[in-house]
């Protein structure tokens, strides 16, 4: 990673210096629907299923947001990454 940072730092884009920063991978998704989500268990099962690229959820549950969406937070960010590419 150090070499990559140094390479990027030496280059310019439209006269501006660039900087490479590492950020933690995302680990959560928000699920919404045009209609009422009737089965929280079905949604959770879908996003935990390995065949869909899913993974285990933190606390084994989903949190409901103020606007009626579901927040699913994965134990391992890999679960998020695989689901994101699967969608």
* DSSP result, 20-48: ----PPP-EEEE--SS----HHHHHHHHH
- Whole-structure pTM value: 0.63
pLDDT of residue 84: 66
53-64 tens-digit pLDDT:
788 888 888 888
- pLDDT greater at residue 59 or residue 72: 72
Higher pLDDT: 47 or 8? It is 47
* Residues 62, 40 contacting (CB under 8 angstroms): yes
């Amino acid at each position: 990673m150090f070499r990559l940072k140094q390479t990027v730092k030496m280059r310019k884009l439209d006269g501006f210096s660039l900087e490479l920063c590492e950020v933690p991978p995302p680990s959560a998704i928000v699920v919404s629907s045009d209609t009422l989500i009737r089965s929280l268990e079905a949604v959770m099962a879908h996003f935990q299923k390995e065949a869909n690229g899913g993974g285990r959820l933190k606390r084994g549950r989903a949190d409901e947001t103020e606007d009626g969406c579901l927040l699913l937070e994965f134990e391992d960010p890999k679960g998020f990454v695989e689901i994101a590419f699967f969608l």
